[in-house]
Amino acid sequence: MDTAPEITNLQPGPAIAIRAQVPLAELPAFFGSVLPELGACGRDQIAGPPFARYYSFEPTHIDVEAIMPLRAAVPISGRVQGITLAGGPAVQIRHVGSYQELGETYASIEHWMEDHHRQRAEAIREVYLTGPTVPADDQVTIVVQPLQPAG
């Protein structure tokens, strides 16, 4: 079940991320390994729920970046990278249900952008308000598409 698209304003700020090319079947394992790693790195500076940016969906792999927003920059090591999140307008939809049903939410955002003549500013985000251990019907994901400023 999806809610209606709504406009929001993303706040800029520091974050930590791990980006990889991952086969679709290995996506759950990727998140299962990187989210604890990002959490350990960010510790008391974590400013919100984890999210992913999806750069491309290829037949053999997905170009994905797992991100943890921060209140302040932290020392990084290994495969963790420090990044700065851009602020600005975005359209978002709150999706309740299985991750496998997110395609409908993506389509709703695409239709909204076409109807409102808006353009993407960067890769789409999936903000995970619940984890994969929650029953599929109760999973909550906010799908966020950053937008170019209007006009």
- Domains, the chain, with CATH or none: 6-146 (3.20.80.10)
Indicate whether 151 pLDDT > 90. Answer: no
Reported as a pLDDT band with limits 50, 70 and 90, residue 100 is confident
Indicate whether 150 pLDDT > 90. Answer: no
The pLDDT of residue 99: 84
Least confident of 58-62, 75-79, 125-129, 130-134: 130-134
Residues 32-36 have a mean pLDDT of 94
Identify the three-state secondary structure at position 129: coil
Count how many Cα atoms sit within 13 Å of the Cα of residue 117 in the half-sphere of its side chain: 2
% of the chain surpassing 70 pLDDT = 98
CA angle 100, 104, 109 (to 5 degrees): 125
Residues 5-22 have a mean pLDDT of 96
The pLDDT of residue 116: 95
Residues 46-52 have a mean pLDDT of 96
Reported as a pLDDT band with limits 50, 70 and 90, residue 2 is low
> Higher pLDDT residue, 126 or 136?
126
Residues 81-104 have a mean pLDDT of 93
With beta carbons less than 8 A apart as the criterion, state whether 93 and 4 touch. yes
Backbone angles phi, psi at 120, to 5 degrees: -65, 145
